[in-house]
Amino acid sequence: MTNTTEHDHHHELSFIRKWIFSTDHKVIGIQYGLTALFFLLFGFCLMLLMRWQLAYPGDPVPIIGWLFSDETMPGGVMLPEFYNQLGAMHGTIMVFLGVVPLAVGAFGNYIVPLQIGAPDMAFPKLNMASYWVYFIGGVVMLSSFLVPAGAAKAGWTSYPPLADIETMGQTMWLIGMFFLITSSLLGAVNFLTTIIQLRTEGMTYMRMPFFTWVQFVTAFLLLLAFPPLEAAAVLQLADRLIDTSFFLPSGLVVSGEILEVSGGGSPLLWQHLFWFLAHPEVYVLILPAMGIVCEIIANNTRKPLWGYKLMVQSLVFLGVMSFVVWAHHMFITGMGTGLSTFFQITTMIISVPSVVILSGMFLSLWGASIRFTTPMLFALAFLPMFGIGGLTGLPLGLAPTDIPLHDTMYIIGHFHYIVAPGTIMALMAGIYYWFPKVTGRYMNDILGKIHFWGTLIFMNGIFMPMFIQGLAGVSRRLYDGGQTYEFASEVIKYNEFMSQSAFLLAIFQLPFIVNFFWSIWKGKKVDDDNPWKATTLEWSATPTPPLAHGNFETTPVVYRGPYEYSVPGEESDYLPQNQP
């Protein structure tokens, strides 16, 4: 541990400037991280309520059921309207308030400037603004539960015409999205400028750690994909507030009556604009996870990442292609065979770079003597979990197989394998890996391993049966889990098993929460500045935890690539990037 006080020439900042309205990328990263973890937990709790309803439809929720109002759960029994709110808000919160802020806002903010040898982000005040705009967006989303008739009920995709004629919660959803989009745009400009401008001497693009590369591509996706959704949100807000008909066709009948609007709009327009964002958004969810896993694999196999160059090329290709696959979410809209063919071809093409990256990670394990640390366990689990999620996506990219599977539980299983056992496992790996960097203390290994095995087993317990249910044709949007459909009777018995897995998954998060807070103050201290013996600058060139201001004592100079582990003929099994 380096004594940091002697390097800190800056005057003491007040508590508020240091921890609340800070412009330091590390503090902002921590703020993002804690807020996003809160929202992940909140979104998870919404899902637990839904899972109770699916397993035991019509039964009052035990223990906490009495806490809810008569408009949501009278006597602890969930109303269908409330179920719809939970569904829409679970998706929105997990994607826009949980995973992306944690993957990009927290890890990206904290790690990227350290990995490229920069004193801070390029625009520190903008960085602070993007956190606080995100925070306000979160507050708006949460408070939408309190408006008359509750939060948004039209799904996280907010398809019109339903979303156009929804209650006030949908307006709140749109306003919340404006804040979240603005936050992401400010963040993306900042990340890109930082990586383009503030790389230290010797840090060429092809010497950047894979994690920084991933954040670079992710920021481009956020920058260019979010604005069309903003445009779409403006149009939907106009439909709702000043009675335009952008998404309302002529002669639309609602509750048996023709709606009195000018008409002439198109619900398909929303879907195009929405998926133009939301497909790149899928890669925003998964790419940072891949970056984290690559860092941890290289570090714990003590080998260079297999095919670094090829993986970077695949990553860039993937980023470009992600802008031309969006309509594979829309095969059942009847958009025509010509368009369908185009999007099926691009979808098959984009699966190639994903497979290259995943194969690169698997091949990196070949012949290594692996250190099975807790972060490494999570990173290893990511590989098959993401593999399952990716491979089950192939039938959905082809119209003939997508049409029967569309909107079934199969879809839910597929994308949850990508983002839950996939991305969230990787994010957990990242937390265990960089926790010592942030706090100077390890997280407890035994609690970490309990957390890992419980999470891995019960996540699969929740999502694996979804494939079976979906192949049997069970719809994803059923309030009672499918009780009223005869064809579903064979497979809805799994609902109870899935829900119990969910509750057990919740219990196995307790060791993590305890471990997280206990380790901040009481965890085992790191022995030196580079406890994992890593090559990248965030470990090798700066004290642990890093300097409060400016990150580095002297500007580091980079002499070599990011993963020079076990170089033949060298005494040490790793050569830091800043070692001449």
Partner 1 sequence: MEIPYTVHPRPDTGVTNAKVGIWLFLASEIMLFGGLFSAYIFLRMGAPEWPGTTMSGHYYASASDILSVPLAALNTVILIASSVTIVLAWASLMTNNFSKYRIYMGLTILMSFGFLIVKSIEYSTKFEHGLFPSESTFLAIYFVMTGLHAIHVIGGIVVNAYLLGPGAKMWKTNPTQYTNRIEVAGLYWHFVDIVWIFLFPTIYLI
User: 91 and 84 in contact (C-beta within 8 Å)?
Assistant: no
Q: How far is the CB of 407 from partner 1 (least distance, A)?
A: 24
User: 308 and 568 in contact (C-beta within 8 Å)?
Assistant: no
CB atoms within 10 A of CB 257: 8
Q: Residue for token digits 């708006």?
A: 140
Q: Which is nearer to partner 1, 185 or 311 (CB)?
A: 185
Between CA 323 and CA 312 the distance in angstroms is 18
Q: Which is nearer to partner 1, 186 or 478 (CB)?
A: 186
Q: Which is nearer to partner 1, 69 or 262 (CB)?
A: 262
Q: How far is the CB of 244 from partner 1 (least distance, A)?
A: 4
Q: Which is nearer to partner 1, 189 or 520 (CB)?
A: 189
Residue of 495, 290, 282, 497 whose CA lies nearest to 396: 282
Q: Which is nearer to partner 1, 131 or 191 (CB)?
A: 191
Q: How far is the CB of 245 from partner 1 (least distance, A)?
A: 6
User: 474 and 151 in contact (C-beta within 8 Å)?
Assistant: no
Q: Which is nearer to partner 1, 262 or 337 (CB)?
A: 262
User: 465 and 488 in contact (C-beta within 8 Å)?
Assistant: no
User: 297 and 361 in contact (C-beta within 8 Å)?
Assistant: yes
The site for partner 1 (CB under 8 A) is made up of 118-120, 122-124, 185, 188-190, 192-193, 196-198, 223-232, 234-235, 238, 242-246, 261-266, 269, 272-273, 276, 549-552, 555
Buried b or exposed e, range 538-575, using 16+ CB within 10 angstroms = bbbbbbbbbbbebbbeeebebebbbbbbbeeeeeeebb
Q: How far is the CB of 24 from partner 1 (least distance, A)?
A: 12
Q: Residue for token digits 């970490």?
A: 448
Between CA 374 and CA 443 the distance in angstroms is 9
- How far the first Cα of the chain sits from its last, in Å, is 22
Q: Which is nearer to partner 1, 13 or 45 (CB)?
A: 13
Pairing mode, strands 257-258 and 253-254: antiparallel
Hey, CA dihedral for 239, 227, 314, 420, is it positive or negative? negative
User: 421 and 502 in contact (C-beta within 8 Å)?
Assistant: no
Q: Note if the bond before 545 is cis, omega within 30 degrees.
A: yes
Q: Which is nearer to partner 1, 229 or 293 (CB)?
A: 229
Residue of 276, 293, 189, 268 whose CA lies nearest to 225: 276
Q: How far is the CB of 224 from partner 1 (least distance, A)?
A: 5
Q: Which is nearer to partner 1, 155 or 227 (CB)?
A: 227
